[in-house]
Amino acid sequence: LDPLDPRRRQLAIEPPVGPDDPEFVPTAFGTGVVIDRQGLILTNYHVLGDPELFDYYVTTIDRQKLKARVWSADPRFDLAVLKIETSDLQPIQWGDASTLRRGHLVIALGNPYAIASDGQVSASWGIVANLMRKAPRTPAGTTEDDAVLGPTLHEYGTLIQTDARLNLGTSGGALLNKRGEMVGLTTSIAAIAGYEKSAGYALAVDDVFRSALEKLKQGREVEYGFLGVSPDDLEHHERSAGYHGVRVNRVIPGTPAWGVLQDQDVVTHI
């Protein structure tokens, strides 16, 4: 500031509140899950924003506010792991999302609107509304900073849908079954500010999830198979006639599918 600017004196007397201050309210916030005693915290990739621009802090259940660094991340699965310097955390207990059915009771733990900045997460409850849901599209008029940047695997139908309340800030929280086991990682893709909906979504804790997480815990890149086809749904009249499968809309040259599959083939079994 200019030396004569009266705000210079005000800033000198009242320094900005920092992350260590109990009154601090972050401009961006989310939820995380302890996955390792040595300080590994799992959250959604889209919670991070730009790691080149932001600093990250984790508030533990005993109200410690610790600086975190990005340990590993995978935008395709929308997963990220943060690391804090501690060695006495209690990891979450894992469940199996493949056992879930519509109507099962679930509990979501989160940090809606940064209300859990004291380390005490808020809980909401609901039922499993459906399984294998596609990730909802970004509402018109929102910016890239407000949503997941780029496509994820969940656009193909891998999400748990729940009617548990998932407000802004609950991305990266635990979705628990009645035994207290984590069966999903909540994601607030549908809960962008001003666009809250009754439907909430969570990444299913299944074999694919656990495989990706093990790589991220090791600080390694998650690798995916690549077939080389652009899939499409069957037409309504085809499904009504009893046909099932996925239509090959396009085969990409030079990929494993090239010369094996053709445009308009229908894949019925894998």
Active site residues: 46, 78, 171
Residue 218 to residue 221: CA distance in whole angstroms: 9
Residue type, 88: D
The answer to whether the beta carbons of residues 80 and 58 sit under 8 Å apart is: no
* Helices and strands per DSSP (H, E), number in the chain: 4, 14
DSSP state, residue 80: E
Evaluate whether 130 touches 163 at the Cβ level (below 8 Å): no
Contact 162, 127 (CB under 8 A): yes
Question: How far is Cα 148 from Cα 137, in angstroms, rounded to an integer?
Answer: 10
CA distances from 120 to 106, 117, 181 (A): 19, 7, 18
For tokens 């590994």, the residue is 40
**What's the rounded Cα separation, in Å, for the pair 72 and 69?**
9
Can you list the positions of beta strands (E) in the chain? 33-36, 40-43, 56-59, 65-74, 79-84, 105-110, 122-133, 159-162, 174-176, 182-187, 200-204, 229-232, 246-251, 266-267
Give the Cα separation of 178 and 69 in Å (integer): 33
Alpha-carbon gap, residue 30 to 132, rounded angstroms: 24
Residues 6+ apart with CB under 8 A from 270: none
